[in-house]
Structure 1
Amino acid sequence: MQADRGPLFRHRLRIRLLTGSVLAAWALSSLALAQTPSRPTSPPAVDLPVDAVYLEADQATRQGNVITATGERDRVYARFQNRSMRGRAVTYDIGQGVGVADGEVELTDPDGNVVHASHLELDSDLKAGVAVDLATRLTNGASLMAATAVRRSENVNELNYALFTPCPVCDAEGHPKEPSLSIQAEKVVQDEALRAVLYRNAVFKIGGVPVFWTPYFAHPDPTVDRASGFLVPITNYDQGRGVSIETPYLRVISPSEDWLISPQFNTGVVPFLNLQWRRRFSNGTILARTGYTYAQNFGDFDLDGDGSAESNVDFGDKTSRSYVLSWGRFDPAGPWRWGFTAERTSDKTLFDRYDVIDPYQDNGLYYGDQRRLISQLYAERQTARSYLSVAAFSFQSLRVARFNDVTPALNVFENDGSLPLVAPLIDGRWEPEQAVLGGRLRLRGSAVSLYRDDYVGSPVLRPQVVPRGATLGLPGVDSRRVTAQIDWRRSLTSAAGIRYEPFIDGRIDVYSVADLPPVLGLADETITRERATIGLDVSYPLIRHLGNGADLIVEPLGQISLSNAPDVDARIPVEDSETLELDESSLFRIDRFPGHDLLEGGFRFTAGVRSTLRWDSNRSASLFVGRSMRDADQIAFGIPIPDAPTKIYDPTGVGSQTSDWVVQASFQPSDRIRGWGHATVDGSGNIRRAETAVDGRWGRRNLATLSYIVDRSNPLTGPNNRNYEFVQLAGQQFVHRNWGVTVAGIADLERNLITRSEVGLLFDDDCFRVEVGYRRDNTRVRPTGPSDGVYVRLNLATFGGSGYGSNGLR
């Protein structure tokens, strides 16, 4: 059969070709052509078979096994193997399975990566190819350009006179611009098997200016989530350690496992090695961090005993110093899941001395607070109607119990033996599927055992059982508790819109307390107490439309409850109810205390009003004011004043007949400004506790956050006073294009001292962010005393970051 050597059609054509043996048999018979309109058409909705090619062109001719398609007005469109290609001229050799495209060529792969070229050749299985004037933009934003490119095999691409940049090469209007960061090289080899890009004679440029040259360089393939190699180093200067450089190296073992080896080299002290291991399993994850050095302590220390500390002194014996921070979470099929944390350090100030990144994290079922580490093992079972948890945990404290006036290196830390070992802690609840008396019924159960090595007085022990005089050598109090609770609640709404919620609550606690102070004549005690409560919640939301899309919502709230007299037995240690956060959410709870050790009873009336103003789509302001009243004072909530142990004060704010006022507000006048505030105010109008914060944004990237917190609950001043008042500021302001300044600081208004401050120069664009600045640390925990230093924070697109923000203010 003689091949047709003339034009097939002079209008736009759609051709579907089958490659391989099917294509050969089909091509020898005839070509099925369908005329289409002159305007470009969309490709078929149905995916093509693996061995098929789809062509769209203004003209197509065939000579032997070679099919040529050209586009005069619109480029030729071809689709094959989930790829699409456009070009002014496309030639396809049926026999050899080779395609050639010329003129404004554009090839898109299944992942959305686009290759541009003036000339492109590909074989049928895409294992080899050639491109001239190559330019490609990957889906992650990186760009790669080369004079010529050759696909040597299925896994190896070779580029000559190439340029790679992870930064945008066009501005917002689409005009070309010099990338902020780029690598130019004589030759670049992309090895997909190694998952790496290799460079020869590489020149690094910042803003188009050459800053570094190396004969060889490599980095992970940009399409790879992670690969072995060095990460961006972390550099800073600290008076205690000197110049410090941390060089993280990531070693990828498998898609589900890797190691991070991060030694810290210091000019003033010996190196410190940080390690991290991560492993993901089919139903869970484990992460383990550790650090180690063999060194003396260092910091400010009074060597000659003159009452003045010399700075940056090595003291003590050389010994092993290390930490472990690990966690694991497993969620197998079914209602059960379990996990653990393991957190310990050999030195109370190790994290501060070596600036360990983010040592205080919340990774388990229960959380340690700032400067307390927690090790735990837990299991949970949860269904739609039930929940059960079983856990055991212990603490290590890094808190300062008494500050030293001469040097922080001699601070006295909280004794770990004063913190309890909790084993076990069991908590469960269950709700029947059907309503009970038209309402929701819930059954709860809880049990806990706590063990202490060392004696702790107030506020764990009530004032009545705190012995007067010396307590050295007294044993720690052990306690066990079992609680059963039932509560029922129903919601009703009247025709006028008033919502009524009657509720009933019943609770039984059984305590077993051992090792109470023997000087009081107390032995091991078993205490049982019961409480029954009946009450009603009432609310009446009112709304008024103010016009122009604004709404005002006012919702009065009220609660009345009656319980039997509370049995706050002085022999029961207060372990889980020491801190009461009195706010809008807790004010109307039956049990406003967290935990179980303290409870309320008697007759109580609580009232408040919540007002919300909303206008436009994202602007609002709200205010809540509320207070609670009871039939009699609860003197059992009081504890001794730290500086006057014979006097009692109420830190809770709910022990008097009238509680503290609760004031809570939030506002968002625009999508660039938002703020909130919370305060408790006593009956005399004095603020006991308050916290507020405002976030603001202006321009495209300028922002600032200002926060304030104060605690005036302790009525007397003195060395043991725990009142505090802080202001914290953090912000960034761009001055010229991508250049700006950053500031951050914490001011201790109680001591009239700026405890930590930072000021830096910032460059930030779509490609990378670098911040260089000065930092001063005046915290009394840091063993080196006040410290000045220089920090460098760097984040690079594609290459990773240096942990920007890891040294942020806390």
Structure 2
Amino acid sequence: MKPVPSRRFRQSLRLRPAAFSAGIAAAWLAACLAVTPLHAQTLPPPASAGSAATVQDTALLVADIVYVEADSILVAEGNVEAIYQGRRLTAQRIVFDQEAGTLSLDGPIRIVEPNGDVLTATSATLDDGFRNGILAGARIVLDEQLQLAAVEARRLGGRYTQLSKVAVTSCQVCGRNQTPLWQIRAARVVHDEEARQIYFDNATFHVLNVPVLYFPQLRIPDPTLTRARGFLPPEFRTSSLLGFGIKVPYFIPLGAHQDVTVTPYLSTESSTLELRYRRAFRYGDIEVNTAASRDSLFDGIRAYAFVDGSFDLPRDYKLNFGLQSVSDEAYLDLYGYSSADRLRNFATVSRYSRDTAFAAGVDYYESLRDEDTTETRPSAILDVDFERRFFPRAIGGELRLSTEAHTHYRPSDRDTDGDDADSVVDGRDVSRLSATLSWRDRYTLPAGLRAGLLGQISADHIRIEQDAFSEPEANVLTPAAALELRWPWLRRGPGGSATLVEPLAQIAWSGGDRPTTAADESTRQEFDEGNLLSLSRFPATDRRERGRVTALGLRWHHRNPIGWQAGLTMGQVWRADDDAAFTRSSGLGFSTSDLLIASHFETRGGFLFTGRGLLDIDDRAWTKVEARAEWETTRMDLGAAYLLLRADPDEDRSDTQSEWTVDGSYIFTPQWSADGFWRYDLGDNRSDRAGLGVTWQNECVSAEISVSRRFASSTNLEPSTDIGLTVLLKGFSTGGSAKEYRRTCSSF
């Protein structure tokens, strides 16, 4: 007999799976109808049950009324809530009949999985074993983003959920009669929880309730699956050279550690097949990108192949390699695969530790510039570098031993200069072996003055082949020493501000004679704050600074507690005589160098400026300038860069080169955003490249349209305009997540 309480009350029971062999099912219902048996703790467990239940098996049932009928029927009524292993079930009424092996639930029913999946229904009936059952008026939300609403849902075999008359969308629907932006309607949908796949029968894709596409059968991975065989979102592209086209990628996983993506690209002027292969090994990975095209702009098949890999070798060595090949100079830039103006094939083995550094690499370059030829450029390059440092107690300080082997090869057999404008011997090949032993230490003198001593001796063997104007080889011994002084002054102000002023000075001397062999590596030099205090400012050891050199500098840095900081470095170098081995634009060619000025400024509000330049004091003109400013906020990211290089025949630059680059992005609203870039060549007074992209998105759709213009260049002789369109349906693993974007039903 059903007890009649004198008042409504909330009753809480702790339940274990021992007494009722198939009890209430909070655990498996959240997985869409599978159930774990529960047992009321208030009832004495059978003797056979023992006390085997664990704390993890214990479930909690809360309801306004809980009672037992006929010793085998458990009834919970009124605001029923069951919690088991992180899963939560709510319903208005639960009835479990142990003898009939059935479980009935009256809704509204809501089950929440620990991973966030949600199932709702108006009513449910489960059979014995609770691996099969029926839900009426079911709605499933997978991974907090994809909604599946059905008239009826069936649980089959504890793995499959079959839904009838289904509507699927990731769009938020506000109100009973509101139409989602897109939805997939199907006569039947099967969700395979183990394979994490969703299968559709007789599916129709609707946009604003208008049918657009029909699929007799369709398979889509659910939001929790990141690697599944199938089509990826297509991309539409319009090019002034290639016409209108579409890319349809197809992803093929080959086990857990490798995959292939095949992308047909069909346009009115081209047919292309793209292929990407990736494989992860236990100690590294490899990636292959390739494509083959036949278009109306080129006779024959155009193709490219890029291979990149990285592996960990025994004894902490690392291997990195890359292979690049292309059929013609304009292919990569025209199809948007790469804007590189030369190809690099390389392999490097390296190992770095606290006191040892080793690197060995081989490179092969191929130029894609129209005015260049690979025959007269250093194509094959081999480098081996080793450095070891010691800390001898007898003399103190740090002792370093470094060796370097280098060789580069030009395919040309000419031992004189050809007709190219760079005035370099066409077939010159170079080999070099260098070794350096150095000792250094630092001291703190009275008044906070910091002193550094450096002494070293270097030996270089240089060999030149196929150069009629150079000595064939040279052996050079170079002793050197330097005294460095730093005097840091630190001033702390109110509120935590700090200002550092540090004068810098160095007196360096290098002996020996400069080799009579041709300089082929140190043809372009840089003068910056990194080598202001250095024994030699040449980039390679085929040339070293000689004689006495004095360098003076000043470093200033300020940090303000309100959130901004700034820095400035200035420096200049003096030597006894001019050094013709330095180029004019390096700022180091005369006895007095150009004035080096480098600065940076940063604020808490996201503004950052960095700049570096060489100022010719005599001409009162900048020799070289590079600067960039950025401003980043929560809604905006804006940047601008400027580059200036004065004309210098020694660096194969007959005219002054300068350019502006502007790039940025802005979020207008949560739905609308835009990004763009523009590069303008001030020397030629023309735009080099420009682009603009606009993105619109909500919780279920992301659409991006982009327009880019490539003007004539050394690798792309004919200008072109590209227009691209990409539409992603969020909620599926192929279209991106819909969880990060949320809106309320009161506003869009």
Q: TM-score per shorter chain, which class?
A: 0.7 to 0.9
> Is structure 2 residue 686 aligned with structure 1 residue 728?
no
- Aligned ranges 1:222-301 → 2 under 5 Å: 222-269=223-270, 271-294=271-294, 298=297
- TM-score relative to the length of structure 2: 0.82
> Is structure 2 residue 527 aligned with structure 1 residue 582?
yes
Alignment match, 2:374: 415
- Aligned ranges 1:276-355 → 2 under 5 Å: 276-294=276-294, 298=297, 318-332=299-313, 334-355=315-336
* Cα distance in structure 1, aligned partners of 2:359 and 2:485: 30
1:216-257 deviation line (CA, Å, top 9, x unaligned): 433222111121112222222222212122222111121211
- Aligned ranges 1:589-604 → 2 under 5 Å: 589-601=534-546, 602-604=548-550
Identity percentage of aligned residues: 21
> Is structure 2 residue 571 aligned with structure 1 residue 627?
yes
Report the residue type matching 1:371 in the other structure. D
Q: Secondary structure at the match of 1:585?
A: coil
CA gap of 1:104–1:544, structure 2 versus 1, over 3 A, is farther
* Cα distance in structure 2, aligned partners of 1:224 and 1:660: 60
How far does residue 348 in structure 1 lie from its aligned partner after superposition? 1.5
* Cα distance in structure 1, aligned partners of 2:172 and 2:244: 34
Question: Is contact 1:99–1:121 with CA below 8 Å preserved after alignment?
Answer: yes
Alignment match, 1:17: 16
Q: Secondary structure at the match of 2:585?
A: coil
- TM-score relative to the length of structure 1: 0.76
Q: Secondary structure at the match of 2:493?
A: strand
* Cα distance in structure 1, aligned partners of 2:637 and 2:363: 41
How far does residue 393 in structure 1 lie from its aligned partner after superposition? 2.0
How far does residue 326 in structure 1 lie from its aligned partner after superposition? 0.3
- How many residues align? The count is 710
* Cα distance in structure 2, aligned partners of 1:620 and 1:194: 53
Q: Secondary structure at the match of 1:254?
A: coil
Residue 608 of structure 1, aligned match among 546, 554, 559: 554
* Cα distance in structure 2, aligned partners of 1:722 and 1:19: 89
How far does residue 258 in structure 1 lie from its aligned partner after superposition? 0.9
Report the residue type matching 2:300 in the other structure. T
Q: Secondary structure at the match of 2:300?
A: strand
1:349-391 deviation line (CA, Å, top 9, x unaligned): 11123332xx36xxxxxxxxx4222112222233343232222
Report the residue type matching 2:388 in the other structure. W
Report the residue type matching 1:322 in the other structure. A
How far does residue 55 in structure 1 lie from its aligned partner after superposition? 3.6
Report the residue type matching 2:43 in the other structure. L
CA gap of 1:144–1:542, structure 2 versus 1, over 3 A, is farther
Residue 476 of structure 1, aligned match among 427, 431, 445: 427
* Cα distance in structure 1, aligned partners of 2:293 and 2:650: 44
CA gap of 1:703–1:294, structure 2 versus 1, over 3 A, is closer
How far does residue 15 in structure 1 lie from its aligned partner after superposition? 0.7
Question: Is contact 1:491–1:499 with CA below 8 Å preserved after alignment?
Answer: no
CA gap of 1:372–1:416, structure 2 versus 1, over 3 A, is farther
Question: Is contact 2:342–2:369 with CA below 8 Å preserved after alignment?
Answer: yes
Report the residue type matching 1:776 in the other structure. R
CA gap of 1:794–1:578, structure 2 versus 1, over 3 A, is farther
* Cα distance in structure 2, aligned partners of 1:422 and 1:796: 48
* Cα distance in structure 1, aligned partners of 2:725 and 2:681: 26
> Is structure 2 residue 81 aligned with structure 1 residue 76?
yes
Residue 602 of structure 2, aligned match among 652, 660, 668: 668
Alignment match, 1:753: 686
Alignment match, 2:744: none
Residue 461 of structure 2, aligned match among 511, 527, 549: 511
Alignment match, 1:555: 501
Report the residue type matching 1:31 in the other structure. L
CA gap of 1:144–1:703, structure 2 versus 1, over 3 A, is farther
Q: Quote the RMSD (CA, aligned, Å).
A: 4.2
Question: Is contact 1:454–1:475 with CA below 8 Å preserved after alignment?
Answer: yes
Report the residue type matching 2:374 in the other structure. N
Q: Secondary structure at the match of 1:351?
A: helix
* Cα distance in structure 2, aligned partners of 1:716 and 1:385: 39
How far does residue 343 in structure 1 lie from its aligned partner after superposition? 0.8
* Cα distance in structure 1, aligned partners of 2:336 and 2:394: 56
Report the residue type matching 1:328 in the other structure. G
* Cα distance in structure 1, aligned partners of 2:414 and 2:172: 61
How far does residue 745 in structure 1 lie from its aligned partner after superposition? 1.9
* Cα distance in structure 2, aligned partners of 1:214 and 1:375: 48
* Cα distance in structure 2, aligned partners of 1:175 and 1:696: 45
Report the residue type matching 2:84 in the other structure. R
* Cα distance in structure 2, aligned partners of 1:23 and 1:322: 64
Q: Secondary structure at the match of 1:651?
A: helix
CA gap of 1:30–1:289, structure 2 versus 1, over 3 A, is same
* Cα distance in structure 2, aligned partners of 1:101 and 1:592: 82
CA gap of 1:212–1:597, structure 2 versus 1, over 3 A, is farther
In the alignment, structure 2 segments of 5+ residues that lack a partner are 24-36, 46-52, 737-748
Alignment match, 1:62: 68
How far does residue 572 in structure 1 lie from its aligned partner after superposition? 4.6
- Aligned ranges 1:736-751 → 2 under 5 Å: 738-739=671-672, 742-751=675-684
How far does residue 87 in structure 1 lie from its aligned partner after superposition? 3.9
> Is structure 2 residue 370 aligned with structure 1 residue 400?
yes
Question: Is contact 1:694–1:707 with CA below 8 Å preserved after alignment?
Answer: yes
How far does residue 324 in structure 1 lie from its aligned partner after superposition? 1.3
Alignment match, 1:301: none
* Cα distance in structure 2, aligned partners of 1:54 and 1:176: 38
CA gap of 1:499–1:31, structure 2 versus 1, over 3 A, is farther
* Cα distance in structure 1, aligned partners of 2:38 and 2:693: 70
How far does residue 53 in structure 1 lie from its aligned partner after superposition? 3.7
How far does residue 474 in structure 1 lie from its aligned partner after superposition? 6.6
Residue 153 of structure 2, aligned match among 130, 149, 152: 149
Alignment match, 1:531: 479
CA gap of 1:630–1:142, structure 2 versus 1, over 3 A, is farther
How far does residue 432 in structure 1 lie from its aligned partner after superposition? 4.1
CA gap of 1:186–1:417, structure 2 versus 1, over 3 A, is farther
* Cα distance in structure 1, aligned partners of 2:714 and 2:623: 26
* Cα distance in structure 1, aligned partners of 2:42 and 2:735: 59
Residue 564 of structure 1, aligned match among 489, 510, 522: 510
Residue 544 of structure 1, aligned match among 492, 495, 508: 492
How far does residue 730 in structure 1 lie from its aligned partner after superposition? 2.9
* Cα distance in structure 2, aligned partners of 1:182 and 1:495: 78
Question: Is contact 2:479–2:512 with CA below 8 Å preserved after alignment?
Answer: yes
How far does residue 593 in structure 1 lie from its aligned partner after superposition? 3.6
> Is structure 2 residue 692 aligned with structure 1 residue 777?
no
1:721-761 deviation line (CA, Å, top 9, x unaligned): 25322222234456676345554322111111122223455
Report the residue type matching 2:460 in the other structure. V
Report the residue type matching 2:349 in the other structure. A
* Cα distance in structure 1, aligned partners of 2:353 and 2:663: 43
1:501-535 deviation line (CA, Å, top 9, x unaligned): 524242423223131423x3x56314233232232
- Aligned ranges 1:443-482 → 2 under 5 Å: 443-454=401-412, 476-482=427-433
How far does residue 774 in structure 1 lie from its aligned partner after superposition? 3.9
* Cα distance in structure 2, aligned partners of 1:697 and 1:83: 42
* Cα distance in structure 2, aligned partners of 1:599 and 1:177: 77
CA gap of 1:668–1:436, structure 2 versus 1, over 3 A, is farther
Report the residue type matching 1:18 in the other structure. P
Q: Secondary structure at the match of 1:400?
A: coil
CA gap of 1:753–1:470, structure 2 versus 1, over 3 A, is closer
In the alignment, structure 1 segments of 5+ residues that lack a partner are 34-46, 299-313, 361-369, 402-412, 458-464, 639-648, 803-810
* Cα distance in structure 2, aligned partners of 1:52 and 1:372: 67
Report the residue type matching 2:355 in the other structure. R
